[in-house]
Amino acid sequence: MPLRMGIDAIAARLVLAETAQQTIDAQYYQVTNDLVSRGFFDALLRAADRGVRVRLLIDDVFTRGRDAGLAGINSHPNFSIRVFNPFKRRSARFIDAITNFRRINRRMHNKSFTVDNSVTVIGGRNIADEYYGAREDLNFGDLDVLGVGPLVDDVSEMFNAFWNHRLAVDLIAFAQMPSDVPAELERVRGLLETSRQEIGNSPYAGAVRQRFLEFVEDDHHPFTWANHALVADTPGKGSTSSSIKLSLRDVLREAHRELFIVSPYFVPRKSGVRAFATLRRRGVAVTIVTNSLASNNQPLVHAGYAPARKPLLECGVRIFEVRSDADVPGAEIAAASDAIATLHTKSFVVDRAKWFIGSFNFDPRSADINTEMGVIIESPKLAEQAEESFRAALTATTYEVKLDERGKLRWHGNDDGRAIVIDREPHTTPAQRVLSRILRILPLRGQL
């Protein structure tokens, strides 16, 4: 069952945590310290209090300054936290990055949430406000899928492989521990209680409660039964040859009629451009949806992508870039009128028959460096619905990038029903455009 709106995605996770009876296994690249994250930890702690065994595996990139709080939570007898590939130095992390770059550069980008080995949520969302329509200034358009059946067994097996790997380290082994760990747990409980009271009467909390109740009371959720293939890297990616990219490459090569790709960070190297050109020569219609310079929260990534636009367009690939002023469905509850929209969905549809949802970006980092996961859903019904949903949003949320008669990039869009053509990166300042051109000079595409 797809979870397209952020408000649905957080409500589903909270419902699952609230109704868990035996186990919760959660694996995330990013868990921050904001409204959504505090609600997430609160739900997990309350489950642990009920006797549910909670295991949380997080990457170490976003944990700086949070060792004490995590250690407090980890002291709960039913709550275990492990950190993937931790920095040895908890404060001066840049020293680790300099002295041991090859190891530190490898991050766990997986995202999964599995309850009682019976239901799982996987996709592109981390645990932070921007993924769930809870920020006023920034909103990520993203996508998850709720799965039951054999998929859950596959996700659980993948989680256990990561949890038991040598790179998944218990906090006690390296963290800056507080002097009184039990007192730290109580301090965290107090912070979570205060946060719950502060946001309890907000419009956003009200909307989450409403969707929470609807999930609980609805016995007829629109699940679609379909064959699937879970695709995931091994925890030791980087030191082994196992990679999700091999599985995805095989699926992409199966395209006969059309390929529709949605990727926020899209950095095709020369080999990637050649692969898309090969598909076009075979008559496959290829459409790419990615971030514009204005909507991309990673300017360096845009600099890596920009040089590929012209060769892709020349071989017949259609490119759409997300507008920074696009509406993100479900985000209007908290978002201000000038909130920046950013694409974060990682998905593709092959011949309207197979649909991928996961954490994988079409960039070198996902392909060769970070661990990734996702599911290939073999369902013409869901694949058709997904592509139609993506296409229906193009007019209002994107600019199509085209080449004019002189071979120059032009952005074609719609402004209140009026067709417009823009001759520079839309919604950007001269400083942004200059910086983007400077960043293109850096020899970093293999790291993006």
The residues annotated with a catalytic role in the active site are: 109, 111, 116, 344, 346, 351
Whether the Cβ atoms of residue 80 and residue 173 lie closer than 8 Å to each other: no
| Paired residues of 141 in beta bridges | 343
- Give the start-end residues of each E strand in 182-330: 227-232, 258-262, 285-291, 318-322
327: exposed, middle or buried (Cβ count in 10 Å: 0-12, 13-18, 19+): middle
Three-state DSSP state, 249: helix
Strand order of the sheet with strand 119-123? 2-3, 144-148, 119-123, 111-115, 23-28, 53-59, 79-84, 168-170
In angstroms, rounded to a whole number, what is the distance separating the alpha carbons of residues 119 and 147? 6
Shortest CA distance to 137 belongs to which of 286, 348, 342?
342
Give the number of other CB atoms < 10 A from CB of residue 81: 23
Tell me the residue type at 440: R
Question: Residues near 284 by Cβ (< 8 Å), separated by ≥ 6?
Answer: 255, 256, 257, 258, 259
In angstroms, rounded to a whole number, what is the distance separating the alpha carbons of residues 25 and 64? 22
What phi and psi, each to the nearest 5 degrees, are found at residue 191? Answer: -65, -40
Count of residues for the chain?
448
What phi and psi, each to the nearest 5 degrees, are found at residue 221? Answer: -65, 145
| Paired residues of 322 in beta bridges | 291, 398
Q: How far is CA 422 from the centre of its chain?
A: 30
In angstroms, rounded to a whole number, what is the distance separating the alpha carbons of residues 181 and 341? 40
In angstroms, rounded to a whole number, what is the distance separating the alpha carbons of residues 108 and 86? 11
Question: Residues near 69 by Cβ (< 8 Å), separated by ≥ 6?
Answer: 184, 187, 188
In angstroms, rounded to a whole number, what is the distance separating the alpha carbons of residues 319 and 303? 16
Determine the Cα angle at 33 with ends 31 and 34, to 5°. Answer: 110
